[in-house]
């Protein structure tokens, strides 16, 4: 049995100064890095997800309702789509990009990024590969999704952290439960858009997610 940490969408556009900032996002990048450094021995695998929008249709809007539509953010290949500079990528094995041509909140909608797109150690600003990088494919030619990757690595339990508690963290955690994993969300290692996150937390708990 293997255990994996899933780091959700700790990207520049979701942190202070970005197109769609979550309060506390930059501090969260630091906190997650410190947690991984201290606890990486407890995980067999560490992966991360990224919003990676090319043309997501109505997900982008000039007059967003901040529920189903949003200002443009995390456009593939831009600085806003890059991981925050304070998120240490040393232990991250794989990245899963989601939302290229549609709205995508769950990391389980993501596809494995090319091997040369995986940053390790210290990165220079602007170093993330561009929008034209194709996802990795399985031998049959199908792109590799997060669930397939986790299964291929015998993962049974996942811990989810990142941004934002009430959107992509929630969606990723609930999809993980539906896929059959044991799921824990570390609430202190998430930050949300709404001021009151009790409803999102209650929904996750009702859906079978353990909140730590």
In order of 8, 18, 99, 118, the CA distances from 128 in angstroms are: 17, 16, 17, 8
One of 9, 13, 51, 166 is an active-site residue; which one? 9
CA distances from 179 to 151, 162, 205 (A): 10, 20, 16
Contacts of 49 (CB under 8 A, 6+ apart): 6, 7, 8, 9, 95, 96, 97, 98, 107, 110, 146, 162, 168, 172
CA–CA–CA angle 21, 147, 151 (5° rounding): 140
| Cα 192 off chain centre by | 13
Q: Which of 88, 98, 166, 175 is catalytic?
A: 98
Active-site choice (15, 74, 147, 168):
168
168 is catalytic: yes
Cα–Cα distance, 72 to 59 (Å, whole number): 8
Q: In this structure, are residues 202 and 196 in contact, taking their beta carbons and an 8 Å threshold? A: no
Calpha distance 128→191 (Å, rounded): 24
Closest CA to 7 of 157, 156, 168: 168
Q: Does 98 participate in catalysis according to the annotation?
A: yes
Q: Please indicate whether residue 67 is annotated as part of the active site.
A: no
Positions marked active-site? 9, 98, 168
């Amino acid at each position: 049995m293997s255990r994996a940490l899933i780091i959700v969408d700790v990207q520049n556009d979701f942190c202070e100064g970005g197109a769609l900032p979550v309060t506390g996002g930059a501090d969260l990048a630091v906190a997650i890095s410190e947690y991984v450094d201290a606890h990486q021995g407890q995980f067999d695998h560490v992966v991360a997800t990224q919003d990676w929008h090319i043309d997501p249709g109505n997900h982008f809007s000039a007059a967003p309702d901040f529920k189903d539509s949003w200002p443009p953010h995390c456009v593939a290949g831009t600085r806003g789509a890059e991981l925050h500079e304070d998120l240490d990528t040393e232990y991250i094995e794989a990245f899963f990009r989601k939302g290229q041509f549609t709205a995508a909140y769950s990391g389980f909608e993501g596809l494995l990024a090319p091997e040369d797109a995986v940053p390790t150690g210290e990165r220079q600003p602007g170093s993330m590969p561009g929008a034209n990088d194709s996802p990795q494919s399985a031998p049959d030619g199908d792109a590799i999704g997060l669930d397939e990757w986790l299964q291929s690595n015998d993962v049974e339990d996942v811990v989810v952290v990142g941004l934002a508690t009430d959107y992509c963290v929630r969606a990723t955690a609930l999809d993980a439960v539906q896929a059959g994993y044991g799921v824990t969300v570390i609430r202190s290692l998430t930050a949300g858009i709404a001021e009151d996150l009790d409803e999102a937390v209650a929904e996750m708990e009702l859906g079978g997610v353990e909140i730590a």
